[in-house]
Structure 1
Amino acid sequence: MLVLTYVHPNDTLTEAQAALSSAIGLTMPQPTQHFLIHVLLLWTTILSIFQVVVIILFFTDGHHGLSQNSSAVAPERTMQFHTPSSSSEHELLLGKGKMVTFKAIEATSKIKWVAMTPNSEGLISKEGESLTIKKDGYYFLNLQVTLKSQESDDQSVSLMWNKKVLLQGWINTKTRSTGLLGKVEVLPAGGTLEVIMQPPTNYINDTESLTHLDIIYMHKP
Protein backbone atom coordinates (compact mmCIF):
# COMPACT_ATOMS: atom_id res chain seq x y z
CA MET A 1 0.00 0.00 0.00
CA LEU A 2 1.56 3.31 -1.04
CA VAL A 3 1.49 6.15 1.47
CA LEU A 4 2.07 9.67 0.30
CA THR A 5 3.34 12.33 2.68
CA TYR A 6 2.98 15.96 1.98
CA VAL A 7 5.88 18.25 2.87
CA HIS A 8 5.11 21.89 3.16
CA PRO A 9 7.63 24.21 1.44
CA ASN A 10 7.99 26.29 4.56
CA ASP A 11 9.24 23.25 6.51
CA THR A 12 12.02 22.62 3.99
CA LEU A 13 13.18 26.25 4.27
CA THR A 14 13.26 26.04 8.05
CA GLU A 15 15.45 22.92 7.98
CA ALA A 16 17.88 24.58 5.55
CA GLN A 17 18.20 27.63 7.77
CA ALA A 18 18.92 25.45 10.77
CA ALA A 19 21.64 23.55 8.94
CA LEU A 20 23.27 26.85 7.84
CA SER A 21 23.22 28.27 11.35
CA SER A 22 24.86 25.09 12.64
CA ALA A 23 27.65 25.34 10.04
CA ILE A 24 28.28 29.02 10.84
CA GLY A 25 28.45 28.20 14.52
CA LEU A 26 31.23 25.66 13.90
CA THR A 27 33.40 28.21 12.07
CA MET A 28 33.05 31.03 14.62
CA PRO A 29 35.70 31.32 17.45
CA GLN A 30 34.80 29.60 20.67
CA PRO A 31 35.36 31.18 24.12
CA THR A 32 38.53 29.07 24.56
CA GLN A 33 39.99 30.44 21.35
CA HIS A 34 39.33 34.01 22.49
CA PHE A 35 41.15 33.33 25.77
CA LEU A 36 44.24 31.91 23.99
CA ILE A 37 44.43 34.93 21.69
CA HIS A 38 44.38 37.27 24.69
CA VAL A 39 47.12 35.27 26.42
CA LEU A 40 49.30 35.37 23.28
CA LEU A 41 48.90 39.15 22.95
CA LEU A 42 49.77 39.63 26.63
CA TRP A 43 52.93 37.47 26.34
CA THR A 44 54.08 39.37 23.22
CA THR A 45 53.65 42.66 25.07
CA ILE A 46 55.65 41.40 28.06
CA LEU A 47 58.53 40.23 25.84
CA SER A 48 58.66 43.59 24.05
CA ILE A 49 58.82 45.48 27.36
CA PHE A 50 61.56 43.13 28.64
CA GLN A 51 63.70 43.69 25.52
CA VAL A 52 63.41 47.47 25.84
CA VAL A 53 64.46 47.32 29.52
CA VAL A 54 67.47 45.09 28.70
CA ILE A 55 68.66 47.46 25.95
CA ILE A 56 68.36 50.51 28.24
CA LEU A 57 70.27 48.77 31.06
CA PHE A 58 73.01 47.60 28.67
CA PHE A 59 73.81 51.08 27.36
CA THR A 60 73.50 52.67 30.80
CA ASP A 61 75.89 50.17 32.45
CA GLY A 62 78.35 50.34 29.54
CA HIS A 63 78.60 54.12 29.74
CA HIS A 64 78.97 53.96 33.53
CA GLY A 65 81.73 51.32 33.22
CA LEU A 66 83.68 53.43 30.74
CA SER A 67 83.45 56.41 33.10
CA GLN A 68 84.79 54.32 35.99
CA ASN A 69 87.68 52.99 33.88
CA SER A 70 88.62 56.48 32.75
CA SER A 71 88.59 57.78 36.32
CA ALA A 72 90.71 54.83 37.45
CA VAL A 73 93.35 55.35 34.77
CA ALA A 74 93.54 59.12 35.03
CA PRO A 75 95.31 59.23 38.44
CA GLU A 76 98.02 56.82 37.22
CA ARG A 77 98.82 59.03 34.26
CA THR A 78 98.82 62.12 36.46
CA MET A 79 101.42 60.61 38.79
CA GLN A 80 103.86 60.17 35.92
CA PHE A 81 104.17 63.89 35.28
CA HIS A 82 107.08 65.85 36.71
CA THR A 83 107.08 69.60 37.04
CA PRO A 84 110.58 70.90 36.35
CA SER A 85 111.91 73.75 38.44
CA SER A 86 112.98 75.83 35.43
CA SER A 87 112.49 76.08 31.68
CA SER A 88 116.10 74.92 31.16
CA GLU A 89 115.50 71.75 33.20
CA HIS A 90 112.20 71.25 31.35
CA GLU A 91 114.05 71.16 28.00
CA LEU A 92 116.61 68.70 29.38
CA LEU A 93 113.88 66.34 30.64
CA LEU A 94 112.20 66.44 27.24
CA GLY A 95 115.40 65.12 25.68
CA LYS A 96 116.35 68.34 23.89
CA GLY A 97 119.71 68.41 25.64
CA LYS A 98 122.10 71.30 25.97
CA MET A 99 125.41 72.26 24.36
CA VAL A 100 128.23 74.18 26.04
CA THR A 101 131.27 75.49 24.15
CA PHE A 102 134.56 76.52 25.77
CA LYS A 103 137.34 78.62 24.26
CA ALA A 104 140.99 78.37 25.36
CA ILE A 105 142.48 81.54 26.83
CA GLU A 106 145.91 80.32 28.01
CA ALA A 107 147.90 77.16 28.65
CA THR A 108 150.99 75.73 30.28
CA SER A 109 150.61 72.17 31.50
CA LYS A 110 146.81 72.62 31.58
CA ILE A 111 144.53 74.63 29.31
CA LYS A 112 142.41 77.30 30.92
CA TRP A 113 138.94 77.69 29.41
CA VAL A 114 136.19 80.31 29.22
CA ALA A 115 132.56 79.43 28.44
CA MET A 116 131.19 80.84 25.17
CA THR A 117 127.65 79.59 25.88
CA PRO A 118 125.42 81.67 28.19
CA ASN A 119 123.77 80.07 31.25
CA SER A 120 126.25 77.18 31.33
CA GLU A 121 126.90 77.42 35.08
CA GLY A 122 123.89 75.21 35.91
CA LEU A 123 125.44 72.35 33.94
CA ILE A 124 129.22 72.88 34.12
CA SER A 125 131.03 75.30 36.39
CA LYS A 126 134.56 76.61 35.79
CA GLU A 127 137.05 76.54 38.66
CA GLY A 128 140.50 77.68 37.52
CA GLU A 129 141.74 75.16 34.96
CA SER A 130 139.10 72.56 35.87
CA LEU A 131 135.51 72.14 34.70
CA THR A 132 133.11 70.64 37.27
CA ILE A 133 130.14 68.56 36.11
CA LYS A 134 126.97 69.48 38.03
CA LYS A 135 124.38 67.06 36.60
CA ASP A 136 124.34 63.29 36.07
CA GLY A 137 123.85 62.41 32.43
CA TYR A 138 125.20 61.45 29.04
CA TYR A 139 127.98 63.71 27.77
CA PHE A 140 129.33 63.95 24.24
CA LEU A 141 132.86 65.38 24.48
CA ASN A 142 134.49 67.02 21.46
CA LEU A 143 138.04 68.41 21.77
CA GLN A 144 140.49 70.07 19.37
CA VAL A 145 143.79 71.73 20.28
CA THR A 146 146.01 73.68 17.90
CA LEU A 147 149.41 75.26 18.62
CA LYS A 148 151.00 78.39 17.13
CA SER A 149 154.32 76.58 16.99
CA GLN A 150 155.41 73.08 17.96
CA GLU A 151 158.26 72.55 20.41
CA SER A 152 158.29 68.74 20.40
CA ASP A 153 157.48 65.96 17.95
CA ASP A 154 155.73 64.05 20.74
CA GLN A 155 153.36 66.77 21.96
CA SER A 156 150.28 65.04 23.47
CA VAL A 157 146.89 66.36 24.57
CA SER A 158 144.74 64.46 27.11
CA LEU A 159 141.20 65.11 28.37
CA MET A 160 141.12 63.82 31.94
CA TRP A 161 138.11 62.90 34.10
CA ASN A 162 139.13 62.71 37.77
CA LYS A 163 142.71 61.85 36.68
CA LYS A 164 141.42 59.23 34.21
CA VAL A 165 142.13 59.63 30.48
CA LEU A 166 138.95 59.97 28.41
CA LEU A 167 140.45 61.37 25.19
CA GLN A 168 144.04 61.51 24.01
CA GLY A 169 145.70 62.72 20.81
CA TRP A 170 149.01 64.00 19.44
CA ILE A 171 149.84 67.25 17.72
CA ASN A 172 150.35 66.70 14.00
CA THR A 173 153.67 68.15 12.87
CA LYS A 174 152.19 69.56 9.64
CA THR A 175 148.89 71.01 10.93
CA ARG A 176 150.09 71.60 14.53
CA SER A 177 146.67 70.30 15.60
CA THR A 178 145.18 67.21 17.18
CA GLY A 179 142.24 67.30 14.83
CA LEU A 180 138.83 66.48 16.31
CA LEU A 181 138.76 64.05 19.24
CA GLY A 182 135.34 62.85 20.36
CA LYS A 183 133.71 60.40 22.74
CA VAL A 184 130.44 59.78 24.61
CA GLU A 185 130.58 59.16 28.36
CA VAL A 186 128.17 58.74 31.27
CA LEU A 187 129.41 61.24 33.86
CA PRO A 188 128.07 61.70 37.41
CA ALA A 189 127.78 65.08 39.07
CA GLY A 190 130.76 66.26 41.10
CA GLY A 191 133.62 65.11 38.86
CA THR A 192 136.08 67.39 37.06
CA LEU A 193 137.39 67.65 33.50
CA GLU A 194 140.89 68.91 32.67
CA VAL A 195 142.90 69.18 29.44
CA ILE A 196 146.60 68.46 30.01
CA MET A 197 149.48 69.22 27.62
CA GLN A 198 152.63 67.05 27.62
CA PRO A 199 155.17 68.52 27.52
CA PRO A 200 153.75 71.84 28.83
CA THR A 201 153.55 74.70 26.34
CA ASN A 202 152.34 78.27 26.27
CA TYR A 203 152.15 78.41 22.46
CA ILE A 204 148.45 77.54 22.37
CA ASN A 205 146.47 78.99 19.46
CA ASP A 206 143.43 80.48 21.22
CA THR A 207 141.37 80.99 18.04
CA GLU A 208 137.98 79.42 18.88
CA SER A 209 137.71 77.50 15.60
CA LEU A 210 141.14 75.91 16.17
CA THR A 211 141.18 75.21 19.91
CA HIS A 212 137.87 74.42 21.59
CA LEU A 213 136.10 72.02 23.93
CA ASP A 214 132.45 71.29 23.11
CA ILE A 215 130.17 69.38 25.48
CA ILE A 216 126.67 68.15 24.66
CA TYR A 217 124.56 67.02 27.62
CA MET A 218 121.56 64.65 27.51
CA HIS A 219 119.41 63.76 30.50
CA LYS A 220 119.84 60.22 31.84
CA PRO A 221 116.47 58.66 32.81
Structure 2
Amino acid sequence: MMSLSAEYCREKTGGRDGGALAQQNRLIWGLLVWSTLLTLVLAASITVQIIHGASAQVQSQEPRNFRHTQNVTMPINLQPPPNSLVTFQPDWEHIEQVEQLRWKTNLPGFIEGKNQLKIEEDGLYFIYMQVTLDPREPEQNYNVTVQLNNPDELILIAYINRSTLSTGLMGKGTVLTKGNTLRVTCTPKAKIKISAFETYLGVIKL
Protein backbone atom coordinates (compact mmCIF):
# COMPACT_ATOMS: atom_id res chain seq x y z
CA MET A 1 0.00 0.00 0.00
CA MET A 2 2.90 2.36 0.76
CA SER A 3 4.47 1.84 -2.67
CA LEU A 4 1.17 2.21 -4.46
CA SER A 5 0.38 5.37 -2.57
CA ALA A 6 3.82 6.85 -3.40
CA GLU A 7 3.57 5.95 -7.07
CA TYR A 8 0.08 7.30 -7.23
CA CYS A 9 1.17 10.53 -5.60
CA ARG A 10 4.10 10.89 -7.99
CA GLU A 11 1.81 10.45 -10.98
CA LYS A 12 -0.62 12.99 -9.65
CA THR A 13 2.12 15.49 -8.74
CA GLY A 14 3.86 15.10 -12.07
CA GLY A 15 0.63 15.73 -13.89
CA ARG A 16 0.01 18.89 -11.94
CA ASP A 17 3.61 20.14 -12.43
CA GLY A 18 3.43 19.50 -16.18
CA GLY A 19 0.18 21.41 -16.54
CA ALA A 20 1.44 24.29 -14.44
CA LEU A 21 4.68 24.46 -16.48
CA ALA A 22 2.76 24.53 -19.75
CA GLN A 23 0.50 27.26 -18.44
CA GLN A 24 3.50 29.23 -17.21
CA ASN A 25 5.16 28.95 -20.63
CA ARG A 26 2.02 30.25 -22.30
CA LEU A 27 1.94 33.20 -19.93
CA ILE A 28 5.61 34.01 -20.57
CA TRP A 29 5.14 33.91 -24.33
CA GLY A 30 2.06 36.06 -24.04
CA LEU A 31 3.95 38.61 -21.96
CA LEU A 32 6.83 38.63 -24.46
CA VAL A 33 4.49 39.25 -27.39
CA TRP A 34 2.65 41.95 -25.49
CA SER A 35 5.84 43.72 -24.41
CA THR A 36 7.14 43.57 -27.99
CA LEU A 37 3.97 45.20 -29.27
CA LEU A 38 4.13 47.88 -26.60
CA THR A 39 7.78 48.59 -27.48
CA LEU A 40 6.94 48.96 -31.16
CA VAL A 41 4.03 51.29 -30.42
CA LEU A 42 6.18 53.37 -28.05
CA ALA A 43 9.01 53.64 -30.60
CA ALA A 44 6.57 54.72 -33.31
CA SER A 45 5.05 57.32 -31.01
CA ILE A 46 8.46 58.76 -30.07
CA THR A 47 9.47 58.93 -33.75
CA VAL A 48 6.30 60.81 -34.64
CA GLN A 49 6.82 63.24 -31.77
CA ILE A 50 10.44 63.92 -32.79
CA ILE A 51 9.50 64.54 -36.43
CA HIS A 52 6.58 66.75 -35.46
CA GLY A 53 8.71 68.71 -32.99
CA ALA A 54 11.49 69.27 -35.52
CA SER A 55 8.98 70.45 -38.11
CA ALA A 56 7.41 72.86 -35.64
CA GLN A 57 10.83 74.20 -34.66
CA VAL A 58 11.80 74.84 -38.27
CA GLN A 59 8.53 76.65 -38.89
CA SER A 60 8.98 78.75 -35.75
CA GLN A 61 12.45 79.81 -36.92
CA GLU A 62 11.21 81.09 -40.29
CA PRO A 63 11.15 84.88 -40.50
CA ARG A 64 7.65 86.10 -39.86
CA ASN A 65 7.80 88.40 -42.86
CA PHE A 66 8.20 85.42 -45.20
CA ARG A 67 5.46 83.17 -43.86
CA HIS A 68 2.02 83.33 -45.44
CA THR A 69 2.85 86.64 -47.04
CA GLN A 70 -0.07 86.27 -49.41
CA ASN A 71 -2.46 86.54 -46.47
CA VAL A 72 -0.67 89.22 -44.44
CA THR A 73 -1.17 92.94 -44.88
CA MET A 74 1.74 94.98 -43.51
CA PRO A 75 0.64 98.00 -41.47
CA ILE A 76 1.21 101.27 -43.28
CA ASN A 77 3.53 102.62 -40.59
CA LEU A 78 5.90 99.64 -41.07
CA GLN A 79 6.30 100.03 -44.80
CA PRO A 80 9.63 101.62 -45.72
CA PRO A 81 9.42 104.71 -47.88
CA PRO A 82 10.33 104.29 -51.57
CA ASN A 83 14.04 104.56 -52.43
CA SER A 84 14.88 104.44 -48.72
CA LEU A 85 18.18 102.56 -49.12
CA VAL A 86 21.48 103.81 -50.57
CA THR A 87 24.48 101.47 -50.73
CA PHE A 88 28.10 102.05 -51.66
CA GLN A 89 31.10 99.93 -52.59
CA PRO A 90 34.81 100.77 -52.34
CA ASP A 91 36.17 102.89 -55.19
CA TRP A 92 39.92 102.42 -54.86
CA GLU A 93 42.50 99.86 -55.91
CA HIS A 94 43.17 96.93 -53.61
CA ILE A 95 46.89 97.75 -53.56
CA GLU A 96 46.35 101.36 -52.43
CA GLN A 97 46.86 102.59 -48.91
CA VAL A 98 43.93 104.90 -48.23
CA GLU A 99 43.03 107.19 -45.39
CA GLN A 100 39.85 108.79 -46.67
CA LEU A 101 37.69 106.08 -48.17
CA ARG A 102 36.15 106.75 -51.58
CA TRP A 103 32.85 105.21 -52.58
CA LYS A 104 30.93 104.24 -55.69
CA THR A 105 27.14 104.39 -55.47
CA ASN A 106 25.37 101.07 -56.03
CA LEU A 107 21.84 102.31 -55.33
CA PRO A 108 21.50 106.06 -55.93
CA GLY A 109 18.96 108.12 -54.06
CA PHE A 110 19.16 110.81 -51.42
CA ILE A 111 22.99 110.96 -51.17
CA GLU A 112 25.48 112.17 -53.76
CA GLY A 113 29.25 112.31 -53.86
CA LYS A 114 32.32 110.14 -53.68
CA ASN A 115 34.88 111.25 -51.09
CA GLN A 116 32.34 113.22 -49.12
CA LEU A 117 28.76 111.98 -49.33
CA LYS A 118 26.27 114.84 -49.44
CA ILE A 119 22.83 114.46 -47.91
CA GLU A 120 20.08 115.69 -50.24
CA GLU A 121 17.05 115.28 -47.95
CA ASP A 122 16.30 116.07 -44.31
CA GLY A 123 15.34 113.11 -42.18
CA LEU A 124 16.20 110.37 -39.74
CA TYR A 125 18.82 107.97 -41.09
CA PHE A 126 20.41 104.69 -40.10
CA ILE A 127 24.06 104.43 -41.17
CA TYR A 128 25.84 101.07 -41.18
CA MET A 129 29.30 100.04 -42.32
CA GLN A 130 32.05 97.45 -42.20
CA VAL A 131 35.73 97.86 -43.08
CA THR A 132 38.20 95.00 -43.43
CA LEU A 133 41.96 95.46 -43.71
CA ASP A 134 44.33 93.51 -45.90
CA PRO A 135 45.90 90.73 -43.78
CA ARG A 136 49.37 91.82 -44.87
CA GLU A 137 49.06 95.17 -43.14
CA PRO A 138 51.48 95.91 -40.26
CA GLU A 139 50.39 94.80 -36.83
CA GLN A 140 49.23 98.04 -35.26
CA ASN A 141 46.04 99.71 -34.11
CA TYR A 142 43.69 101.48 -36.53
CA ASN A 143 40.71 103.79 -36.09
CA VAL A 144 37.86 103.77 -38.59
CA THR A 145 35.39 106.65 -38.31
CA VAL A 146 32.24 107.94 -39.95
CA GLN A 147 32.16 111.68 -39.45
CA LEU A 148 29.68 114.42 -40.21
CA ASN A 149 31.66 117.35 -41.60
CA ASN A 150 29.14 120.17 -41.28
CA PRO A 151 28.68 120.48 -38.40
CA ASP A 152 31.76 118.55 -37.29
CA GLU A 153 30.41 115.49 -35.49
CA LEU A 154 31.62 111.92 -34.95
CA ILE A 155 28.87 109.42 -35.80
CA LEU A 156 30.65 106.04 -35.71
CA ILE A 157 34.07 104.88 -34.59
CA ALA A 158 35.59 101.39 -34.54
CA TYR A 159 39.00 100.15 -33.45
CA ILE A 160 40.95 97.48 -35.27
CA ASN A 161 43.70 95.95 -33.11
CA ARG A 162 46.31 93.31 -33.75
CA SER A 163 43.97 90.42 -33.09
CA THR A 164 41.38 91.33 -35.72
CA LEU A 165 41.35 92.78 -39.23
CA SER A 166 37.76 94.02 -39.36
CA THR A 167 35.56 96.53 -37.62
CA GLY A 168 32.67 94.11 -37.84
CA LEU A 169 29.23 95.45 -38.68
CA MET A 170 28.51 98.73 -36.91
CA GLY A 171 25.60 101.11 -37.24
CA LYS A 172 23.81 104.06 -35.70
CA GLY A 173 20.66 106.10 -36.19
CA THR A 174 21.03 109.87 -36.49
CA VAL A 175 19.22 112.97 -37.74
CA LEU A 176 20.72 114.49 -40.89
CA THR A 177 19.78 117.63 -42.78
CA LYS A 178 20.15 118.60 -46.40
CA GLY A 179 23.70 119.75 -47.09
CA ASN A 180 25.37 117.58 -44.42
CA THR A 181 28.33 115.55 -45.69
CA LEU A 182 29.60 112.19 -44.48
CA ARG A 183 33.26 111.19 -44.57
CA VAL A 184 34.78 107.77 -43.77
CA THR A 185 38.44 107.62 -42.73
CA CYS A 186 40.97 105.03 -41.60
CA THR A 187 43.85 106.20 -39.38
CA PRO A 188 46.65 105.50 -40.07
CA LYS A 189 46.16 104.85 -43.77
CA ALA A 190 46.02 101.19 -44.73
CA LYS A 191 45.33 98.74 -47.51
CA ILE A 192 41.64 97.94 -47.25
CA LYS A 193 39.92 95.00 -48.90
CA ILE A 194 37.43 95.97 -51.58
CA SER A 195 35.18 92.90 -51.81
CA ALA A 196 31.52 93.80 -51.34
CA PHE A 197 30.99 91.49 -48.34
CA GLU A 198 34.10 92.69 -46.46
CA THR A 199 33.98 96.47 -46.91
CA TYR A 200 30.71 98.32 -47.52
CA LEU A 201 28.62 101.32 -46.53
CA GLY A 202 24.86 101.71 -46.44
CA VAL A 203 22.39 104.41 -45.43
CA ILE A 204 18.70 103.82 -44.75
CA LYS A 205 16.23 106.69 -44.59
CA LEU A 206 13.75 105.89 -41.84
Counterpart of 1:53 in structure 2 is none
TM superposition shift of 1:181: 1.1
Q: Per the alignment, in what secondary structure is the counterpart of residue 96 of structure 1? A: coil
Counterpart of 2:80 in structure 1 is 96
Matching of residue 176 in structure 1 with residue 165 in structure 2: yes
1:204 to 165, 176, 192: 192
Q: Per the alignment, in what secondary structure is the counterpart of residue 108 of structure 1? A: strand
Residue-by-residue CA offset, 1:179-200 (whole Å, 9 max, x unaligned): 0111000100101000011001
TM superposition shift of 1:94: 9.4
Counterpart of 1:105 in structure 2 is 91
Matching of residue 140 in structure 1 with residue 126 in structure 2: yes
Write the distance in 1 (CA, Å) between the matches of 2:171 and 2:197: 16
Q: Per the alignment, in what secondary structure is the counterpart of residue 141 of structure 2? A: coil
TM superposition shift of 1:152: 4.3
Q: Structure 2: state its 5+ residue gaps.
A: 1-76
Q: Structure 1: state its 5+ residue gaps.
A: 1-92
Counterpart of 1:54 in structure 2 is none
Q: State whether residues 172 and 178 of structure 1, in contact with CA within 8 Å, keep that contact through their aligned partners in structure 2.
A: no
Write the distance in 2 (CA, Å) between the matches of 1:111 and 1:154: 18
Residue-by-residue CA offset, 1:117-154 (whole Å, 9 max, x unaligned): 1xx2x40001x411000000010000100011332421
* Amino acid aligned to 2:118: T
Root-mean-square deviation (CA), in Å?
1.9
* Amino acid aligned to 1:199: P
Counterpart of 1:154 in structure 2 is 141
* Amino acid aligned to 1:111: L
TM score, norm. by length of structure 2: 0.55
Which protein shows a greater Rg? 1
Query: What is the total number of aligned residue pairs between the two structures?
Result: 121
Counterpart of 2:112 in structure 1 is 125
Counterpart of 2:183 in structure 1 is 194
Counterpart of 2:13 in structure 1 is none
Q: Per the alignment, in what secondary structure is the counterpart of residue 200 of structure 1? A: strand
Q: Percent identity?
A: 33
Write the distance in 2 (CA, Å) between the matches of 1:209 and 1:172: 20
Residue-by-residue CA offset, 1:63-110 (whole Å, 9 max, x unaligned): xxxxxxxxxxxxxxxxxxxxxxxxxxxxxx996231111111226110
> 5 Å matches for 1:8-87?
none
Residue-by-residue CA offset, 1:14-39 (whole Å, 9 max, x unaligned): xxxxxxxxxxxxxxxxxxxxxxxxxx
